[in-house]
Structure 1
Amino acid sequence: MNAFLNKWYKNHALGYKILLYLVTTLFIVYLFPKTGKFRYSFEKSKPWQSENLYAPFNFAIKKSSDEIEKEKREIKEQSQVYFDINKDIKSQVLSDYQVRFNQVFKDSNAVVSIKNSNLYAKGKSIINKLYNPGILDLEYGYSDDRTIVLAISNKVQNELQYGSINQLGELRELIEKDLGNSLYEDEKKRMISIFFDVIKPNISLNKILSDKVLEEELSKISLTRGQIEKDQLIVSKGQVIESDQYDILSSLKSEYESHIWNTKNYNWVLVAYTLLVALALLMLLLFLRKYRIEVFLDNTKVTFIFFNIALMILLTTLVINFNSQYIYVVPLCILPLVLKAFFDARLGLFAHVLTVLLLGFIVPNSYEYMFLQIIAGMVTILTVSELYKRANLFISVGQITFIYIIAYFAFFVIHEGQLTGIKWETFGLFVLCGLATLFVQPLIYMYEKIFGLVSDVSLLELSDTNSKLLKELSNRAPGTFHHSLNVANLAEASANEIGANAMLIRVGALYHDIGKMKNPTYFTENQSTGINPHDELSSKESAKIIINHVINGIETAKKYKLPDRVIDFIRTHHGTSLVYYFYMKEKATNELVDIKNFTYPGPKPFSKETAILMMCDSVEAASKSLKEPTSTKINDFVENIINKQMEAGQFLNADITFKEIQSIKKVLKHKLANIYHLRIEYPE
């Protein structure tokens, strides 16, 4: 058991990568639509690009959603509506009418006059008329010619038109019309008040029965129209897809996808999706393993890359599920931007292309989409430089948006052969995509805090010489600070010459000697009084103090929370070189001197940037000892120092070539010549 645990502990980094790989693969497959992928792409009114298509099996032609909705509307407009009628209300109203009439129309002897008797009869006639067929309780908004059914306890009584039923809002007008102008105004008002006191609606909607009948009618709607037989020609190559063929193709696509994913083939298709996604992600891991080993060995960075790929696929999937027309709103170019900011352009483009290939499984018009996104990704990589400069980002986003528009315009003309019918709103989506891409700046900041990575934006902040740590260095070790500034200038020029990360190396150079703040006077550049404290120490003790400035620098950097990419410069700027002066001094008195006590612990530089810093640091520090420098002396001096470092194998772990080292030598010679102001000697 212990052996197993020890083995697992030694290989836990690899185990984590395998787990991350599997989880990301399954997550992406889970996001994929749970349908098969129809092998053909087609659009209405556009030519069929593939070979002649014959029906692979019998299938029904499905009606379009518009057709089904139209049939539903027609059924809803024609469906019978059921109303309940209460026959007892009329009798109750007549009884109430008699009582109320006698209360309102009686003489001083409390005897109803002949005139009142006629008025009573007229009112009774109006009530009978109103309740034939009846009075609605509410306004339901049906058309006047809509057929309705009157029922008592769900038993049909008769059918009539909705407009023939009296409504409460129309009663006053009907009553006034029937009363006529033969009555006095006072009598007319009293009669109207009687009617409104006693009249009650006796017809109300039976919603349950009406909805039940409507559902039965809607359930009878057929979702298909016609049948396509097996081996029947559906569309010929080059034929323009009209409305009928489009419906047939859509039906075939739907039938094909549901047929595959609802049968025993489902598991096989799922396995096939998993294999393709796993293959794509494996290519990414192999790329990192072969060309970006420092990224591959860092689990945080690998997690960061996989997370961003999965995030882009998730966003695209959500948009497609909402409305696939908005697919171009997803700012996919954020992916190469982010990866280029934290790593490099090559990795950014590689990951972007793999992501687009994976999205090709789920997007409509996959070829057009993939072409546009890959071209946009290339433009992103080629145009975006120095992301910390806001103007550069805005210019690059404008160029990306322009490329989107040009590519979409070209595809539309190819498909349509004309400009008529072009979807201008799609251009607006590209503009929105460009604006969304600007979110990369705050996103980079969040990623720095979450994953502990460093971008050029953070490097720009760290390069400010007014920062707390650099100000402390300038106060406590002014000579070292001045030395660091000179090294930064030399290193930046060298990095620009060979295409290395100039911003990163400048920051590394500014902080590489911060460990000297602990014992500043033990370093010659800070000895302004002429007193050398090493005179009172043994060579071994002096060498230990000199060597410890690397360890002290790492501790100080961690205390001030400098990024690991910057700490790497502190750790490697002397590599495994020898403190030569004190070693030779000790050797003069002790032939058995242990060389390990005078050797820096390393590691050796492992990148172009750290290798450049080692060269520039050694050359700048040693240049202070040049007496009466000439062009020849400077050339020999630079060659000698860097050649010794190469002979000691200090650059074996760095991905730097001999050609690049020669270019760096030329830059250093030129810069040192300018620093020492070499001039032609004029005759006196």
Structure 2
Amino acid sequence: MTELINKWYKNHALVYKILLLLGTTFFIVYLFPKTGKFRYSFEKGKPWQSESLLAPFDFAIKKSENQLKEETENITKNSTVYFETDSDIEAKVKNNYLPKFNEIFIDSVVGFEERKALFSSGKKALDDFYEYGILNSIYNYDDDKEVAIVENNVEKEKVRFKDLTSQNEIRPYLESIIIKNNLKNYKDDFISLFFDLVEPNLSYNKSLTEKTLKENLANISPTRGVVSTGTLIISKGQVVEDKQYAVLNSLKSEYESQVWTSNNYNWVIVAYTLLVSLTLLMLLLFLRKYREDVFLNNTKVTFIFFNIVSMILLTTIVIGYDSQYLYVVPLCILPLVLKAFFDARLGLFAHVLTVLLLGFIVPNSYEYMFLQIIAGIVTILTVSELYKRANLFISVGQITLIYIIAYFAFFVIHEGQITTINWGTFGLFVLCGLATLFVQPLIYIYEKLFGLVSDVSLLELSDTNTKLLKELSNKAPGTFHHSLNVANLAEAAANEIGANAMLIRVGALYHDIGKMKNPTFFTENQSTGLNPHDELSASESKDVIIDHVIDGIEIAKKNNLPDRVIDFIRTHHGTSTVYYFYMKEKAANDEVKEEDFSYPGPRPFSKETAILMMCDSVEAASKSLKEPTSTKINNFVETIISKQVESGQFLNADITLKDIESIKKVLKLKLANIYHLRIEYPE
């Protein structure tokens, strides 16, 4: 049991990475769509590029949305409308007609013939009005609309809507009767009689009408025919015309609508898991081979995985809401963030892997992946010095432009013309660009959550008015001045070979903060001419000198300096020897070992830390030059750096001999400018 626990403890970092890989894989697979995926791409009017396609199973040919919409509109238009009739109202009105008529048209006032004509005209009008019924309200239907009249939920007959009488038709009809029978003198009384007498007896039956319409719509068939297994759908090179397009769309829809069943669910899960885990494993292997310092830091590995999962989650949410907003997702934030905290190569690699994973869930995956990979490359190439706001705005503008150009090119390739292009998509790219600007506050949030450091933080640390640097300038002014000189030399050298100039400048400013503990033991701070080392043995002096590295690390951690800056403190002397005190001790004791007078290391393990080591040694030793000339400076720089190379100080750093020669050239030029060397003219 103890052996197992010890084994676990020794390999806990690797175990954590395995668990992180598995957890991330399962979460991403969970986000993937639970449907099949059609593996062919096709367009109407374009040749079929794949091999001849046979129907893999029986499937129905689905009607297009326009066809279904047209059928729905026709059924809605022609569906029967139901009106409920009340026969009691008709009987009541007709029974009341004679008494009402006699009240108005009295024998002593109206002549017999006129009275007879008025009565018969009124009776005929009632028969006409109630032949199919009088509507209780105004309804907007076409005259030829089919109407069913029901009584007690039993259909009596079907007529056209124009056969029903609306209340606003009663008066014109009565007026026509009066004129036809030459009874104008009785017009007002006759019309008044009917308005007092007539009542509507037809009311709209909403429930029955809607029920019938719903049943008719439910009977619409979404398909029109069936394709049998093995039927040739389309041959290679054949143009995709309307008929083939409809069949291919139906087959594609069939694939995408197939929810994973119990029979294939496990296999699909296994397949997705293998692909996702393989992709994430490539990322871990990349870190292991090319970014070992990142690989060994579980926090940084977690940070990278977190960003990848966040982008996949955000894209999945947007697709679930509406896939047309897919290009609003600011995917280029991923390489921007990773470049800010690590480097461009890692940022691009992670971006490409993320785009490959998103290819499983996005529509038009090839087009999407092409656009996003190109945009990621442009992001890496254009965004430099992220702490400068103008650079970010310019880069985001370039990224947006690349999106628009690439999308426009794809559209022209697909459609062959631009008249039908959706210009609103360009607006989505602009929104994506604006969303990318959120990277600045996001970097700040990540710094606080994960304890990382970006160029923005480095810019803040480079301010010489920070508390720690002001303390250094007060306690060890000579060391502070030395650090400024080293920072200037190192920054120039970094720019020459393409290293991180901001990082190396900050590292140079803080690399000697350990000298604050015993400032007078270092020559640059001995302004009185007294040397405390005169009272110490060579071994004791060596300990004081070497301890400034350890003291610097402690002070840096106490003041919460980032690890990337502490690395400069830890490595700026590598495993070099405190040569002066070593020779002094050797003069008294021949058995002294050189390693006892060497710094504990580690050696520089990056371009930046290697540059600092060179610049620090050259700047410090340059103070001993007497009557410097160009020749002396050249030999001086060559001697110091060559000795460092020969002692293997740069074996762990990714720096080439060409880079070292470029750095030498910069240091020689800078030192010549510092000492104001002039061409020596003959007397």
Q: TM-score, normalised by structure 2?
A: 0.85
Matched, 1:305 2:304: yes
Equivalent residue number for residue 440 of structure 1: 439
Equivalent residue number for residue 4 of structure 1: 4
What are the superposed Cα offsets for residues 208-256 of structure 1, whole Å, 9 maximum, x if unpaired?
A: 3333322322222111112334443322333332222211111122234
Equivalent residue number for residue 464 of structure 2: 465
Larger deviation: 288-297 or 550-559?
Answer: 550-559
Counterpart of 2:156 in structure 1: which amino acid?
A: Q
- The secondary structure found in structure 2 opposite 1:241 is coil
Larger deviation: 216-225 or 353-362?
Answer: 353-362
Is 1:334–1:440's contact at 8 Å kept on the other side of the alignment?
A: yes
Equivalent residue number for residue 455 of structure 1: 454
Q: By how many angstroms is 1:466 displaced?
A: 3.4
Structure 2 matches for 1:522-541, cutoff 5 A? 522-535=521-534
Equivalent residue number for residue 495 of structure 1: 494
Structure 2 matches for 1:228-239, cutoff 5 A? 228-239=227-238
Equivalent residue number for residue 17 of structure 1: 17
Structure 2 matches for 1:17-96, cutoff 5 A? 17-88=17-88
Equivalent residue number for residue 284 of structure 1: 283
Report the CA distance shift for 1:501/1:209 in structure 2 as closer, same or farther (over 3 A): same
Equivalent residue number for residue 659 of structure 2: 660
What are the superposed Cα offsets for residues 616-647 of structure 1, whole Å, 9 maximum, x if unpaired?
A: 11221121122222333323333333344344
Counterpart of 1:374 in structure 2: which amino acid?
A: I
- For residues 51 and 557 of structure 1, the distance between their equivalents in structure 2, rounded to whole angstroms, comes to 65
Q: Among all aligned residue pairs of Structure 1 and Structure 2, give the percentage whose two residues are the same amino acid.
A: 71
- The secondary structure found in structure 1 opposite 2:42 is coil
Q: By how many angstroms is 1:17 displaced?
A: 1.2
* Matched residue count: 675
- For residues 520 and 178 of structure 2, the distance between their equivalents in structure 1, rounded to whole angstroms, comes to 120
Matched, 1:249 2:272: no
Larger deviation: 546-555 or 135-144?
Answer: 135-144
Q: TM-score, normalised by structure 1?
A: 0.85
Q: By how many angstroms is 1:291 displaced?
A: 1.0
Structure 2 matches for 1:115-264, cutoff 5 A? 133-134=132-133, 136=135, 141-165=140-164, 195=196, 203-258=202-257, 261-262=260-261, 264=263
Is 2:35–2:258's contact at 8 Å kept on the other side of the alignment?
A: no
Report the CA distance shift for 1:178/1:28 in structure 2 as closer, same or farther (over 3 A): farther
Equivalent residue number for residue 270 of structure 2: 271
Equivalent residue number for residue 624 of structure 1: 623
Report the CA distance shift for 1:141/1:307 in structure 2 as closer, same or farther (over 3 A): farther
Q: By how many angstroms is 1:486 displaced?
A: 0.7
What are the superposed Cα offsets for residues 570-612 of structure 1, whole Å, 9 maximum, x if unpaired?
A: 2222233344444555566677778787554433322111121
- For residues 314 and 138 of structure 2, the distance between their equivalents in structure 1, rounded to whole angstroms, comes to 48
Report the CA distance shift for 1:670/1:140 in structure 2 as closer, same or farther (over 3 A): same
Q: By how many angstroms is 1:420 displaced?
A: 5.3
- For residues 93 and 10 of structure 2, the distance between their equivalents in structure 1, rounded to whole angstroms, comes to 96
- The secondary structure found in structure 2 opposite 1:82 is strand
Is 1:386–1:392's contact at 8 Å kept on the other side of the alignment?
A: yes
- For residues 533 and 126 of structure 1, the distance between their equivalents in structure 2, rounded to whole angstroms, comes to 132
- For residues 40 and 312 of structure 1, the distance between their equivalents in structure 2, rounded to whole angstroms, comes to 26
Larger deviation: 345-354 or 571-580?
Answer: 571-580
- For residues 107 and 607 of structure 2, the distance between their equivalents in structure 1, rounded to whole angstroms, comes to 120
Counterpart of 2:654 in structure 1: which amino acid?
A: D
Is 1:47–1:241's contact at 8 Å kept on the other side of the alignment?
A: yes
- For residues 171 and 539 of structure 2, the distance between their equivalents in structure 1, rounded to whole angstroms, comes to 118
Matched, 1:517 2:516: yes
Q: By how many angstroms is 1:201 displaced?
A: 6.0
Report the CA distance shift for 1:163/1:615 in structure 2 as closer, same or farther (over 3 A): same
Equivalent residue number for residue 484 of structure 2: 485
How big is the alpha-carbon RMSD for the aligned residues of Structure 1 and Structure 2? 4.0
Counterpart of 2:524 in structure 1: which amino acid?
A: E
- For residues 238 and 144 of structure 1, the distance between their equivalents in structure 2, rounded to whole angstroms, comes to 53
Is 1:494–1:612's contact at 8 Å kept on the other side of the alignment?
A: yes
Is 1:493–1:667's contact at 8 Å kept on the other side of the alignment?
A: yes
- The secondary structure found in structure 2 opposite 1:217 is helix
Larger deviation: 164-173 or 547-556?
Answer: 164-173
Report the CA distance shift for 1:664/1:91 in structure 2 as closer, same or farther (over 3 A): same
- For residues 465 and 219 of structure 2, the distance between their equivalents in structure 1, rounded to whole angstroms, comes to 80
Is 1:56–1:231's contact at 8 Å kept on the other side of the alignment?
A: yes
Report the CA distance shift for 1:652/1:176 in structure 2 as closer, same or farther (over 3 A): farther
Is 2:178–2:187's contact at 8 Å kept on the other side of the alignment?
A: no
Matched, 1:361 2:372: no
Report the CA distance shift for 1:340/1:114 in structure 2 as closer, same or farther (over 3 A): same
Is 1:36–1:269's contact at 8 Å kept on the other side of the alignment?
A: no
- The secondary structure found in structure 2 opposite 1:40 is coil
Is 2:500–2:608's contact at 8 Å kept on the other side of the alignment?
A: yes
Report the CA distance shift for 1:657/1:255 in structure 2 as closer, same or farther (over 3 A): same
| Unaligned ranges ≥5, structure 2 | none
Report the CA distance shift for 1:425/1:45 in structure 2 as closer, same or farther (over 3 A): farther
| Unaligned ranges ≥5, structure 1 | none
Q: By how many angstroms is 1:499 displaced?
A: 2.2
Is 1:544–1:597's contact at 8 Å kept on the other side of the alignment?
A: no
Report the CA distance shift for 1:164/1:561 in structure 2 as closer, same or farther (over 3 A): farther
